[in-house]
Amino acid sequence: MATVASDKTMKGGAWLIEETDPATVMTPEKLTEEHQLIRQTAAEFINGEVVPVNDRLEQKDWTLQRELVKKCGSLGLFGTNIPEAYGGVDLDKISTLVVSESIAEHASFGATFGAQANLTILPIFMFGTEAQKQKYLPGLVSGEMVGSYCLSESGSGSDALSAKTRAARQPDGSFVISGEKMWITNGGFADVYIVFAKVDGEHFTAFIIERKWAGVSSGKEEHKLGLHGSSTTPVILQDVKVPADAVLGEVGKGHKVAFNVLNFGRFKLGAMCSGGGRRTLVEAAKYAAARKQFGVAIGTFGAIKHKLGEMTARQYALESMMYRTAGLIDARIAATPDRRADDAAPMLQALEEFAVESSIAKVLGSETVDYIIDENLQIHGGNGFVRDYPAEGHYRDARVNRIFEGTNEINRLLIPGMLMKKALKGELPLMAAAKALQDEIMSPSMSVPDEDDRPLAAEVRACGVFKKVVLMVAGTAMQRFGTKLEQEQEALSYLADILIDTYAAESAVLRAADAVARKPANVELHQDAARISVNEAAGRIELAARSALAAMAEGDVLRTQLAALRRLLKVTPVNTVVMRRRLADATLAKGGYIF
Ligand SMILES: Cc1cc2nc3c(=O)[nH]c(=O)nc-3n(C[C@H](O)[C@H](O)[C@H](O)COP(=O)(O)OP(=O)(O)OC[C@H]3O[C@@H](n4cnc5c(N)ncnc54)[C@H](O)[C@@H]3O)c2cc1C
């Protein structure tokens, strides 16, 4: 693990076997004026136009929702990744990230926004013909038209490729489509639907279908736990006559459209969750400062400081991971020679390259925001459980993030699965690294580096150790199960947990190390957040690795591995109590998230 890679040249998953120079990593502290401006535009729109009409949206006033979509479009917020030729503003992925974070201020509008920007506009840009782009993109980007994405069916959610919707090919090349899609966001009022159907019952294919075509209708609104201000309906297709030029991409290649859309959708969902975490910390800090019990503000109690400190540290790690990943994707796109703005291929390739990181963003984002939202509700006590305060609404709204865009279980299987595939294709020398590590572990003289008291040196070392644990568990899994590994979901899920913690903790450390080099006034708080992240990750990683190894090895091999694991993970505990208190005090003083 000796190479110090620049993030400018890094490939997806390479962080696992290479070291990263903190100076090259994208962080929120490095946002440009342009990024700040688009963030402000999005924040002003959502806080000024959407949040104040929440009650009407929750009553399903879709006329109002459509007006808001139009306003959002007029501000350029749907077109951050779309070239000017199709009405977009062609900005980088960091801009998309800051917009998504801000839009998350209103979760229901966030869902409407996501279905439009990520699930309709993007697939048309990435896979559409020139005529399809000209026909649909300007209207969708401006918000004049509303889009939605119809993949799921009642019998096929995670197993989306087994859809029953059929497209019968006609002699003139057109199709007749019949079937029923389920849980479709924007279903009740969209004009354009991306619909997946099997041509002649066999070839999974994406189509662009318009609501006005005969036979297209939407069913009743679902009664949901949350997101009441977002439309979710079945979409019914009854013998819909669809012209040949409505195929999006190629017949039989619908999986390419579906999976690539999900790659980016997952990254953006992570961004929305990060925005939700940020927003929730404001509520938690304000309530903890204002609410008095036993004659003092509850924020003065250690138990509440623990919560605020931990919420802040987890938000810090999530955010660090999101910005780092956005920077990697942008660098990959920018490195394409002679890139033309209207060429979607570099973006498509970059999103595929960082599909593992996008899945990590989705899982970590949805679970971090759920943690933060749950602790916010707890800080609110009884007030957290009643509708007079927003805490309970956030709790209901956020729960679906672990379900859509691929459930977290499916994403946990994908994370190590995709990495292993890269390794088998020779794109990532994981196997060689795992073999070298195994030789090192089996050697009685395996060395553990000396303590180093430079700032964050222990944390940098710990992240290196986490990567070795990944290699140890992955190598053992490959040896034990070989090609049958994909059937070992528990082992894969443990591995995913270790990978997620490793990438997030290292992202936090890189951001804090960059802060140490730049010396901002809050540098100590950066270090606190990163050190807590590493400390907590170490505990979780040890447990996951022990459980995984115990399920895969036995006898002397297991004993040797567990002994090696103990030696590797011999991290000196740090006083996270004092660090969390510092983070909490700063959060209370600011009345919100401090970074
Ligand atoms: C509010 C909302 C909005 C939505 N918006 C859209 C939309 O706009 N467009 C769209 O197409 N869909 C949409 N969906 C559908 C959503 O994508 C699916 O609900 C999701 O993919 C899960 O599918 P499912 O509900 O059929 O669950 P299932 O696939 O039945 O899963 C049930 C459980 O089994 C687990 N499971 C399933 N398969 C496996 C496996 N192979 N290994 C291990 N565990 C497994 C899952 O993780 C889950 O815990 C939306 C859903 C909701 C609730």
* pLDDT tens track for 476-533: 998 889 889 989 999 999 999 999 999 999 999 999 999 999 999 999 999 999 999 9
Nearest atom in ligand 1 to the alpha carbon of residue 185 is 8
Q: Is 150 in the pocket of ligand 1 (CB under 6 A)?
A: yes
Q: Which of 158, 194, 207, 401 to mutate to test the pocket of ligand 1 (most atoms within 8 A of CB)?
A: 158
Question: According to the model, what pLDDT value does residue 444 have?
Answer: 61
Q: Tell me the residue type at 379.
A: I
Of the pLDDT bands very low, low, confident and very high (cuts 50, 70, 90), residue 2 is: very low
**Helix and strand numbers, DSSP H then E, in the chain:** 19, 12
Q: Are 228 and 60 in contact (CB under 8 A)?
A: yes
Tell me the CA–centroid distance for residue 168 and ligand 1, in Å: 26
Q: How far apart are CA 32 and CA 94, in angstroms?
A: 10
Q: Is 494 in the pocket of ligand 1 (CB under 6 A)?
A: no
Task: Tell me which of 7-11, 117-121, 198-202, 274-278 is least confident.
Answer: 7-11
What are 232's strand-pairing partners? 185
Tell me the CA–centroid distance for residue 402 and ligand 1, in Å: 9
pLDDT above 70: percentage of residues in the chain: 97
Question: According to the model, what pLDDT value does residue 249 have?
Answer: 97
Tell me the CA–centroid distance for residue 408 and ligand 1, in Å: 10
Q: Is 149 in the pocket of ligand 1 (CB under 6 A)?
A: yes
User: Which protein residue has the closest C-alpha to ligand 1 atom 52?
Assistant: 183
User: Which protein residue has the closest C-alpha to ligand 1 atom 29?
Assistant: 158
Nearest atom in ligand 1 to the alpha carbon of residue 159 is 29
Average pLDDT over every residue of 20-24: 94
Q: How far apart are CA 312 and CA 595, in angstroms?
A: 9
Higher pLDDT, 449 or 335: 335
Tell me the CA–centroid distance for residue 586 and ligand 1, in Å: 39
Q: Is 158 in the pocket of ligand 1 (CB under 6 A)?
A: yes
Tell me the CA–centroid distance for residue 403 and ligand 1, in Å: 6
Nearest atom in ligand 1 to the alpha carbon of residue 186 is 8
Question: According to the model, what pLDDT value does residue 8 have?
Answer: 53
Q: How far apart are CA 308 and CA 511, in angstroms?
A: 20
> 405, 488, 506, 542: which is the annotated catalytic residue?
405
Task: Tell me which of 105-109, 406-410, 479-483 is least confident.
Answer: 479-483
Q: Is 151 in the pocket of ligand 1 (CB under 6 A)?
A: yes
Tell me the CA–centroid distance for residue 400 and ligand 1, in Å: 10
Question: According to the model, what pLDDT value does residue 593 have?
Answer: 98
Of the pLDDT bands very low, low, confident and very high (cuts 50, 70, 90), residue 414 is: very high
- pLDDT at residue 448 is higher than 70: no
Cα dist from 526 to 185, 242, 454, 513, whole Å = 38, 55, 15, 8
> Taking the complete model, does pTM exceed 0.85, yes or no?
yes
Nearest atom in ligand 1 to the alpha carbon of residue 155 is 26
Q: Which of 108, 183, 489 to mutate to test the pocket of ligand 1 (most atoms within 8 A of CB)?
A: 183
Place of tokens 């036995």: 554
Q: Is 206 in the pocket of ligand 1 (CB under 6 A)?
A: no
Both tokens of 196, joined, read 């997946």
DSSP 397: H
- pLDDT at residue 187 is higher than 90: yes
What is the b/e burial string over 207-240, where b = at least 16 CB atoms within 10 angstroms of the residue's CB? bbbbbeeeebebeebbeeebbbbbbbbbbbbeeb
- pLDDT at residue 1 is higher than 50: no
Q: Is 587 in the pocket of ligand 1 (CB under 6 A)?
A: no
Biggest CA-to-CA distance, the chain: 80
Average pLDDT over every residue of 80-106: 95
- pLDDT at residue 352 is higher than 70: yes
Residue 202 falls in the annotated catalytic set: no
Q: Which residues contact 555 (CB under 8 A, 6 or more apart)?
A: none
Higher pLDDT, 455 or 502: 502
